[in-house]
Amino acid sequence: MTPASAASEQSDSNGSRVVLSARGLRRDFAGFVAVRNVDLDVGHGKIHALIGPNGAGKTTVFNLLTRFLPSTSGTITLLDQDITRTPPAKVARLGLVRSFQISAIFPHLSVLDNVRVALQRQNGLGVQFWRSLSALDDLTPRAQELLERVGLANARHHMAGDLSYGRKRVLEIATTLALEPKVLLLDEPMAGMGHEDVAVVAEIIRGVAENCAILMVEHNLTVVADLCDWITVLQRGEILAAGDYATVSSDERVKTAYMGTADD
Amino acid sequence: MADTALERTSPTRARVEWALVVLGILVLIAAPFTIYPFFLMQVLCFALFACAFNLLLGYTGLLSFGHAAFFGGAAYFCAYAVKSWGFSPEAGILLGVLGAAVLGVVVGFFAIRRQGIYFAMITLALAQMFFFFCIQAPFTGGEDGIQGVPHGFLFGFIDLNKPLAMYFFVLAVFLISVFIIWRIVNSPFGMILKSIRENETRAISLGYSVANYKLAAFVMSAALAGLAGALKANVVQFATLTDVAWQMSGEVILMTLLGGIGTMVGPIFGAALVVSLENRLATSGFPVQIVLGAVFMICVLLFRKGIVGEILAFFDRRKPRE
């Protein structure tokens, strides 16, 4: 078998069970290698950060892991299952769910319906075109619960598109949580948020990580230092360094390539 | 939670909507006694066509430029079966709907692989292929079309040669079909169609196999467009190349846009407007296309949501939801 399947038997360096793992991930775009030789292990209950300067290939890695983009080579394993060739919707059904850099919501649906759309699939209500919408009323308490968790309960009948930027992002997280993901991929969840919102979202993420694995792209290094157990630094599509915050931040190459200017 | 059904739309608003629906049905029942039934039947057929098209454009976000193939294809199938095989009207219509659904599976299967303008181009290309097939195929009668389709007896005993009997048959099919479309749109399945319209990649990331949903919506829309076409063939007693030509695909887009995309009754008003204009102008010697073009431009410039869309938006602004 592939090295990836061997890795999934192991634990990562923090001692938790590896749920998502990638080996030798590579993606070529016409004459340009966007991502090469990327190995990743994300452990259950851990928050893993993917950082690096703009254009380092972070979002491409996300797209490869969730199969929104096919990888040129390499293997991806989710919960001991090879998903290297699995279609993206199936990957999501297997428990690997992503958020997007731009707030991915359904703007002309109500806040409540945004969450219920996500809940609908597990209840097998996807294909029922002959039933009335009240068939979805059973999902309302659960949706309500999720909205309360992120502090959106009072906005549930607003159009999602009318929410402020920060609340849209929080709604996206609530929708993602509705799927009860095993692995959560967050693409810059706090980008463009004010200070209070960042603290709120950090708290939500910390809570979610208790029974889920999280891989997040984040530029705010204070957040990364505070929240993440493991950090992978990406530069020009390759892994520059990996380790906990202390290791990575003291790495000379990382300092010069990325943190040297951003940190101190 | 018992409150949700009520909170979705306020009770007074729901009551007003139901009252308007009942009023509309009453008007349609009374209409043939004052207005020429043949004209009304044409309006209803095109209104159904536009509603079927709107299921795809308004609620799934897919712009098909090939719906004439389903409308005209079903008209040919139905006309041929009724005239040459002696099918009853209801059997002929059923055959037309099935034929349109099969065409919908074929066209949809290829088209849903692409998005936006490419989707529209593939539907147009395949519909054009079907158009040229209809010119060549012997059963369509080429340039002449299929003429003189007999009205026959519905279910063996209702004489459709009587204009009023035909009218109420068309009205019944129309109302049932609009109800079906309304049910599809306001169902759990319809919810997912809307989510695909709103944000397709997000729908995928929620685990929905978007392609299957799109294909299902496409086939439903094609079948209902076929129903409209087959019905029309029975009403006007012929099926011709006009029904499968690309101009017909353009016309249904125009009707839907004029009335209001993504509204339930918009396409009905749009169809009524376009068919009325065409009927009036056909005898006046005034160029129909120029007038329609001008109306379309005014619509795009002044009320982009369409006539019904703007009216609904006006009331939404007046009565903000709590």
CA distance A204 to A207: 5
Top residue of A111, A113, A123, A133 to mutate, by most chain B CBs within 10 Å, is: A133
Predicted confidence band of residue A263 (pLDDT cuts 50, 70, 90) = very low
**Mean pLDDT estimate for chain B:** 88
Q: Which range has the worst mean pLDDT, A6-20, A238-252, B18-32, B162-176?
A: A6-20
Q: How far apart are CA B79 and CA B76, in angstroms?
A: 5
The answer to whether B214 touches B196, Cβ cutoff 8 Å, is yes
A128 with B187: Cβ contact below 8 A: yes
Q: Which whole number is the average pLDDT over B118-136?
A: 94
Question: Which residues from chain B sit within 8 angstroms of residue A136, using beta carbons?
Answer: 188, 191
Q: Does B196 touch chain A (CB under 8 A)?
A: no
HSE-up of residue A180 (Cα within 13 Å, Cβ side): 7
Taking residues B63-73, report their average pLDDT.
95
Model confidence band, residue A250 (pLDDT cutoffs 50, 70, 90) = confident
Say what the pLDDT of residue A9 is.
44
Question: CA B237 to CA A160: how far, in whole Å?
Answer: 49
Residues A119-131 have a mean pLDDT of 79
> What is the mean predicted confidence (pLDDT) over A224-252?
87
Please tell me the predicted confidence (pLDDT) of residue A264: 43
Which H or E run includes A217? strand A213-217
Does the pLDDT value for residue B42 go beyond 90? yes
Whether A88 has its CB under 8 Å from any CB of chain B: the answer is yes
CA distance B55 to chain A (A): 12
The mean pLDDT of A127-147, rounded to a whole number, is 85
| Spatial distance between the Cα atoms of A27 and A90, rounded to a whole number of angstroms | 21
CB A153 within 8 A of CB A185: no
- Can you give the pLDDT at residue B125? 95
A121 in contact with B at a CB cutoff of 8 Å? yes
Q: Is the pLDDT of residue A131 over 90?
A: no
The single-letter DSSP state of residue A258 is: I
Residues of B in contact with A110 (CB under 8 A): 8
Q: What is the pLDDT of residue A258?
A: 63
Query: What is the percentage of chain A residues whose pLDDT exceeds 90?
Result: 23
* Beta-carbon separation of A179 and B220 below 8 A: no
Pairing of the two strands A230-235 and A47-51: parallel
Backbone angles phi and psi of A24, in degrees to 5: 55, 40
Q: How far apart are CA B93 and CA B322, in angstroms?
A: 46
Single out the residue of B263, B258, B260, B261 nearest to residue B276, CA to CA: B258
Q: Which amino acid is at B127?
A: A
Confidence of residue A13 (pLDDT cuts 50, 70, 90): low
Give the strand order in the sheet containing A81-82.
A32-43, A18-29, A73-78, A81-82
B189 contact residues in A (CB cutoff 8 A):
126-129
pLDDT: which is higher, B41 or A189? B41
Which of the residue ranges A100-104, A259-263, B15-19, B199-203 would you say has the lowest mean pLDDT?
A259-263
Q: Any idea how long chain B is?
A: 322
Chain A residue with CA closest to B3: the answer is A137
The pLDDT score that the predictor gives to residue B216 is: 95
> Chain A contacts of B198, Cβ < 8 Å?
105-109
Q: State the pLDDT at residue A156.
A: 87
Among A3-17, A34-48, B273-287, the range of highest mean pLDDT: A34-48
- Going by pLDDT thresholds of 50, 70 and 90, the confidence category of residue B219 is very high
Residue B7 pLDDT grade (very low, low, confident, very high; cuts 50, 70, 90): very low
B187 and A130 within 8 Å at the Cβ level: the answer is yes
Q: Which range, B28-42, B95-109, B240-254, is most confident?
A: B95-109
| Chain A residues touching B199 at Cβ < 8 A | 104-107
pLDDT of residue A5: 41
Least confident of A148-162, B59-73, B256-270, B302-316: B302-316
Q: Indicate whether A14 pLDDT > 70.
A: no
User: What percent of chain B is predicted at pLDDT more than 90?
Assistant: 57
Percent above pLDDT 70 for chain B? 95
Helices in A121-194 by DSSP H: which ranges? 140-149, 165-178
When pLDDT is averaged across residues A24-33 and rounded to a whole number, the result is 88
Q: What is the pLDDT of residue B10?
A: 64
> Highest mean pLDDT range out of A45-54, A92-101, A186-195, B126-135?
B126-135
- Where are the domains positioned within chain B? 36-246
Among all residues of chain B, which has the CA nearest to that of A114? B195
Place of tokens 């009927």: B279
Task: Please state, in angstroms and rounded to a whole number, the distance separating the CA atoms of residues B79 and B148.
Answer: 9
pLDDT for B53: 96
pLDDT of residue A109: 92
The CATH homologous superfamily for domain A3-101+182-262 is: P-loop containing nucleotide triphosphate hydrolases (3.40.50.300)
Least-confidence region, from A231-235, B146-150, B264-268, B318-322: B318-322
Measured between alpha carbons, how far is A193 from A207 in angstroms, rounded to an integer? 19
- Average pLDDT along chain A: 84
Distance from CA of A37 to the nearest CA of B (A): 25
pLDDT at B320: 53
Spell out which residues of chain A touch residue B190, defining contact as CB-CB under 8 Å. 129, 133
| Structural domain spans, chain A | 3-101+182-262, 106-162
Of the pLDDT bands very low, low, confident and very high (cuts 50, 70, 90), residue B128 is very high
Q: Do A136 and B183 touch (CB under 8 A)?
A: no
Contacts of A184 (CB under 8 A, 6+ apart): A97, A98, A99, A176, A208, A212, A213, A214, A215
Kindly state the average pLDDT of the residues B150-179.
88
Name the amino acid, one letter, at A122: Q
What is the mean pLDDT of the segment spanning B134-144?
85
Q: What are phi and psi of B155, to 5 degrees?
A: 50, 25
Q: What single-letter amino acid sits at A231?
A: I
List of chain A residues whose C-beta atoms are within 8 Å of the C-beta of residue B201: 68, 100, 104
Query: Residue B300 above 90 pLDDT?
Result: no
Q: Which of B191, B147, B224, B87 is nearest to A127 (CA)?
A: B191
ipTM for the whole complex: 0.80
Could you tell me which residues come within 8 angstroms of residue B117 by beta carbon, excluding any fewer than 6 positions away?
none
